[in-house]
Amino acid sequence: MIENVRSLAFDTIQDILNEGAYSNLRINEVLSENELNAMDKALFTEIVYGTVKRKYTLDFYLKPFVKTKIKAWVRQLLWMSIYQYVYLDKVPNHAIINEAVEIAKERGGYHNGNVVNGILRTMMRSDLPDFNEIADPKKRMAIEYSMPKWIIDHWATHYGLEETETILQSFLETTSTTVRANLTRASLDDIIEKLQDEGYDVEKDHDLPYCLHIGGQPIIHSRSFKDGFVSIQDKSSMFVAHIMNVDRHDHVLDACSAPGGKACHIAEVLMPEGQVDASDIHDHKIDLINFNIKKLRLTNIKAFQHDATKPYDKTYDKILVDAPCSGLGV
């Protein structure tokens, strides 16, 4: 039921925003724990990701309509409702209001239900505030693209305002899900056929032969994913094994490997002659690498705990160091 979807979405949003849960992991956990049809899974995922991704924008829309202090969870519930109102064309306004009010009453009594009802109805009868009324261009970008202003200040110093805005626009573009075909298990055509038989739309990438763009229900529920015929991986990450230009007999080290996506990809490229050592400083992450190795049925890769700032006891033909970093690109 849609009602259950919105309640699950709100719980998940709170886990991410208040408890520091990783959005992708928590979403996958909730989808695995609940029997939702394909349409409800898609709605749940869209609401959670959208609300978290656009929280600064949503709060900007909300602010003029809040006349008294509201609790943090009520504010987050309103963000979730505003996201549906602004960005999801197929969700009727009455459904947004009714479900938000029910969630508010269930969790905070009739008073909070009335607050949510009043704010949403007033908003839907009114014009939303305009980004262009914000005089400071960096503050405007922070609100419009829902990004902390300190990051925008940082990028603007390095790239200038125009390039910074281009970067921010790209973050909000809808991208297709990409998977890496495991060509050690089957041919590309056979893997595409497996995915299509499961109801997925599949498109080959123009640059990388093992990269597939797919549409449909979440790939984590597919037999092809569970059986190791495909791995979820961003196209940019797939380029790593490509530009390393490994030779089929190479012995390669991935020094900061967890969760092992790039190491497993390199191992697929090197099968069967080449070898990969996958190390990580955190011992508990080795199990995750080994899980992926086993699922993909790779026999030429070994995972172990090691601090990459310390010497290794062997030499390698090529070494990959994808070190933990801020991810800010500067």
Give the gyration radius of the chain's Cα atoms: 23
Task: Decide if 163 is inside a domain.
Answer: yes
Does residue 280 have a known ligand-binding role?
A: yes
Does residue 307 have a known ligand-binding role?
A: yes
Helix (H, G, I), strand (E, B) or coil at 271: coil
Length of the chain: 330
* Residue 48 near residue 23 (C-beta atoms within 8 A): yes
* Residue 62 near residue 78 (C-beta atoms within 8 A): yes
Long-range contacts of 32-41 (CB under 8 A, 24+ apart): 32/220, 34/4, 34/8, 36/4, 36/5, 38/216, 38/217, 40/1, 40/2, 40/4, 40/5, 41/217, 41/218
- Do residue 68 and residue 165 come from a single domain? no
- Do residue 189 and residue 91 come from a single domain? no
Query: 10 Å Cβ neighbour count for 263?
Result: 32
The pLDDT tens digits of the residues spanning 77-135 come to 999 999 999 999 989 999 999 999 999 999 999 999 999 999 999 999 999 999 999 99
- Do residue 6 and residue 118 come from a single domain? yes
- Do residue 106 and residue 192 come from a single domain? no
Give me the phi and psi of 320, to 5 degrees please: -105, 125
Query: 10 Å Cβ neighbour count for 95?
Result: 13
Task: Decide if 328 is inside a domain.
Answer: no
pLDDT at 329: 64
> pTM of the prediction?
0.78
- Do residue 79 and residue 59 come from a single domain? yes
- Do residue 42 and residue 87 come from a single domain? yes
pLDDT at 174: 77
Query: Could you say which residues of the chain have pLDDT below 50?
Result: 1-2
- Provide DSSP, 145-210: TT--HHHHHHHHHHH-HHHHHHHHHHHTS---EEEEE-TTTS-HHHHHHHHHHTT-EEEE-SS-TT
Return the percent helix, strand and coil in the chain, to nearest 5. Answer: 55, 10, 30
Task: Decide if 256 is inside a domain.
Answer: yes
**Could you tell me the CATH number of the domain that includes residue 282?**
3.40.50.150
**Could you tell me the CATH number of the domain that includes residue 66?**
1.10.940.10
- Tokens 């190479």 belong to 250
Give CA–CA dist 91/51, Å, rounded: 15
- Do residue 9 and residue 49 come from a single domain? yes
Domain boundary among 124, 152, 185: 124
The pLDDT tens digits of the residues spanning 242-267 come to 999 999 999 999 999 999 999 999 99
pLDDT at 330: 59
Does residue 20 have a known ligand-binding role?
A: no
- Tokens 């970067």 belong to 167
- Do residue 113 and residue 186 come from a single domain? no
Does residue 257 have a known ligand-binding role?
A: yes
pLDDT at 216: 81
Does residue 261 have a known ligand-binding role?
A: yes
Task: Decide if 327 is inside a domain.
Answer: no
**Could you tell me the CATH number of the domain that includes residue 223?**
3.30.70.1170
* Token pair of 215 as six digits: 């549409």
Give CA–CA dist 252/322, Å, rounded: 13
Task: Decide if 325 is inside a domain.
Answer: no
- Do residue 11 and residue 116 come from a single domain? yes
- Do residue 81 and residue 118 come from a single domain? yes
- Do residue 273 and residue 250 come from a single domain? yes
Of 106, 112, 56, the C-alpha closest to 82 is 56
Task: Decide if 130 is inside a domain.
Answer: no
Does residue 259 have a known ligand-binding role?
A: yes
Does residue 322 have a known ligand-binding role?
A: yes
Query: 10 Å Cβ neighbour count for 282?
Result: 11
Domain boundary among 212, 232, 252: 232
Q: How many domains does the chain have?
A: 4
Using left for φ > 0, alpha for ψ between -120 and 50, and beta otherwise, residue 282 falls in beta
Task: Decide if 131 is inside a domain.
Answer: no
Does residue 329 have a known ligand-binding role?
A: no
Residue 268 domain boundaries: 240-320
- Do residue 72 and residue 96 come from a single domain? yes
pLDDT at 1: 45
Task: Decide if 326 is inside a domain.
Answer: no
Give CA–CA dist 272/257, Å, rounded: 20
* Residue 4 near residue 75 (C-beta atoms within 8 A): no
